[in-house]
Amino acid sequence: MRKLSFSLIALLASCANGPGTSRAALTAEEAAEICAKHQARACDPSQTKKVTICHIPPGNPANAHTLCIGSPALDAHVTHHADTQGPCACPTAGDPAPDPDPDPTPPDPPAPPPSDSPTAPASPDPAPPSGPIQ
């Protein structure tokens, strides 16, 4: 069933690209890498307050990916998205490559390098002048 769902998603996504556009087919190595990511994102079975879903981003079904979410969020994901409970199906070689995430989360900025000298505490703002301004 999951393989059928992924195949249907991939088929619908390829139709959404319009005529004359096509994405490269996945190699066996790329398909295995995507599958490993799906498996790595699944919930640990000992986490009883979390559930694994196949999240299908609205407008980008070819970027379906496995997520581990809090159990209370399951109904909202299933109701408001086309998400399903359980991990996403693994693609196979020859399936269309997924579209890149249209809104990727930017990486955290690098931390500033450590300073060799201690920094002085910031001095408080000077007191405003008292009396009438001339």
pLDDT in tens, 38-96: 888 899 989 889 999 999 888 888 788 899 999 999 999 888 888 999 998 888 888 88
Distance CA 94, CA 104 (A): 25
57 Cβ contact partners less than 8 Å away, ≥ 6 residues apart: 63, 64, 81, 101
Which structural domain, as residue segments, surrounds residue 87?
1-6+32-91
According to the model, what pLDDT value does residue 9 have? 44
Q: What are phi and psi of 63, to 5 degrees?
A: -100, 30
Is 37 within a domain? yes
Counted domains in the chain: 1
Find where tokens 């619908």 sit. Answer: 12
Of residues 89 and 118, the one with the higher pLDDT is 89
Of residues 55 and 22, the one with the higher pLDDT is 55
Look over the chain and give the mean of its residue pLDDT values, rounded to a whole number: 73
Is 123 within a domain? no
